[in-house]
Amino acid sequence: MSTPHEIVVLGGNFAGIGLVHYLFKITIPSLQKLDPAKTFHITLVTPNTDLFFKIGSPRALINDKQIPESKILRPLSEGLSKYKPEQLTLAQALATSLDASKRTVTITPVGSETTKDLPYDSLFIATGTTSASPLWTFHPDPSLTSTALKALHTSLPTAKTVLIAGGGAVGIETAGEIAHFYPSAKITLLSGAAQLLPNSPPVLGPRAQSYLETHAKVEVIHNLRVEASDLSATGATVTLSDGSTKTTDLYIDATGGKANTGFLKADWLDGTKRVLTRDAYFRVKGNGSDDVEGVYVLGDVTAGSANTAMVLDAQTPTVASAFAVDFARKAIGVEAGEKKNPGLLGGLVGLVFGKKAAAPSLVEFKPMKDTMLVPVGPGGGVGLIMGWRFPSFLVAKVKGKNFLLELVDPLLTGDKWKA
Ligand SMILES: Cc1cc2nc3c(=O)[nH]c(=O)nc-3n(C[C@H](O)[C@H](O)[C@H](O)COP(=O)(O)OP(=O)(O)OC[C@H]3O[C@@H](n4cnc5c(N)ncnc54)[C@H](O)[C@@H]3O)c2cc1C
């Protein structure tokens, strides 16, 4: 057996976990059919030990009964313990720098100041974004997500005023949930733009606003942003973009996140600090002089990302195909799509599996476009499926009922990928 090919995956949530399963279930077996002597080891570097199904957060923040925390924070071990130590190592750490010339990532284990250099043969960057509030993404201390959910469970029942900043899907869903479950609270939603859902087809935002305003105590305000917030034990005071201040019992920041790329050189990144790609298969572009062979990116941290989990259904097979093609060319000596003389061992594998070994091919990236579901409370909401309007009652049925919790298990276990 050869020395294992070391694959390092940075970031262990939607993109990273999905990728690890995809590599073990589909990509690695296909490469081993081509050359059974090749072995692989994956190191998953991530600070969290749970999968965070953040899609459920707007309902889970209401109380611990609607969606118990244990349904959206699930131990990674439930999905990863099936892999042996010689296949997978979980490093509970943050990537803190990268040396492309040495092909190493420096990682800092959670709770430690001692760093460690991790060599890689192939590297996948899936570090996502960090939102101001840990309600929507993990923070470097992942336990803050649970703390933030619990804090709202305590404070929401007595809050008379709630201010939410952010007119995207997360802000709308959160306002809709609070309006439904705490109808006596006065809710102010600041879109921060000229309308809700400013980056979506223009009909959706006003429609979402009219659903929100069926609740007498919801007010939606446009073109006003929160510039600063001062939190205290009894509430918050926010400074707004028109210079005024506002006090509120509860302030929820639902504005977007910042890309987790502080460990990369600035010239690998676009204007939003997301990782630039050099082709449609998510190979990292780099800066023209650094060695970026075998370096790939996926998930929200990708330049131009749609910032959805759904896009990963298409992006994961595509980026894995780029890795497979690059590995087959470099380590096995076959070009994409080429048939390989299987040799004695490969021939036996072919006999057993009844298949000829073929070199991998690139998989085109074909995400489902113009699709989004934004519940406004459990009873309805706005949505588009491939650009077509999705009726409110179907938004409620598909997402509003349980916030897509049925997707957690297949993601966590890898069952979503069919070999
Ligand atoms: C409330 C809400 C509702 C949503 N609803 C939908 C929906 O209905 N449909 C949909 O398709 N999408 C939805 N999304 C978007 C979807 O959740 C994201 O697109 C998805 O989580 C992106 O996955 P990711 O793995 O790229 O990033 P993340 O899920 O953010 O994961 C990034 C991981 O990287 C880790 N990390 C960070 N920095 C480092 C580092 N330096 N080193 C190592 N690891 C690091 C983090 O701890 C985390 O584990 C929603 C998002 C939110 C917040």
**pLDDT band per the 50, 70, 90 thresholds, residue 153:** very high
Mean pLDDT of 62-91: 98
Ligand 1, atom nearest to 263 Cα: 41
Distance in Å, CA 286 to ligand 1 centroid? 23
User: Are 282 and 308 spatial neighbours (Cβ–Cβ below 8 Å)?
Assistant: no
Mean pLDDT of 32-45: 97
Mapped onto helix, strand or coil, the DSSP state of residue 119 is strand
> Which residue shows structure tokens 């459920």?
56
CA distances from 88 to 25, 29, 65, 153 (A): 13, 15, 35, 37
Distance in Å, CA 57 to ligand 1 centroid? 12
- What pLDDT, on the 0 to 100 scale, is given for residue 356? 54
**pLDDT band per the 50, 70, 90 thresholds, residue 354:** very low
Distance in Å, CA 113 to ligand 1 centroid? 25
User: Are 12 and 48 spatial neighbours (Cβ–Cβ below 8 Å)?
Assistant: yes
User: Are 312 and 306 spatial neighbours (Cβ–Cβ below 8 Å)?
Assistant: no
Does the pLDDT of residue 376 top 80, yes or no?
A: yes
Report percent pLDDT > 90 for the chain.
92
Using a 6 Å cutoff on CB, does residue 108 contact ligand 1? no
Ligand 1, atom nearest to 14 Cα: 25
> Which residue shows structure tokens 């001692």?
114
Tokens of 320: 């894995």
- What pLDDT, on the 0 to 100 scale, is given for residue 234? 87
Nearest to 132 by CA among 47, 44, 228: 228
Nearest CA to ligand 1 atom 14: 308
All structural domains of the chain: 5-131+258-365 (3.50.50.60), 143-253 (3.50.50.60)
Ligand 1, atom nearest to 45 Cα: 43
Tokens of 6: 């070391």
Using a 6 Å cutoff on CB, does residue 30 contact ligand 1? no
Nearest to 59 by CA among 410, 408, 418, 401: 401
Nearest to 207 by CA among 31, 389, 406, 74: 389
**pLDDT band per the 50, 70, 90 thresholds, residue 173:** very high
> Which residue shows structure tokens 């069919």?
418
- What pLDDT, on the 0 to 100 scale, is given for residue 339? 61
Strand order in the sheet with 186-190: 218-221, 186-190, 161-165, 250-253
- What pLDDT, on the 0 to 100 scale, is given for residue 1? 60
Using a 6 Å cutoff on CB, does residue 383 contact ligand 1? no
Does the pLDDT of residue 401 top 80, yes or no?
A: yes
H/E stretch holding 307: none
H/E stretch holding 273: none
Ligand 1, atom nearest to 374 Cα: 8
Using a 6 Å cutoff on CB, does residue 365 contact ligand 1? no
Distance in Å, CA 300 to ligand 1 centroid? 7
Average pLDDT of the chain is: 95
> Which residue shows structure tokens 């970026």?
292
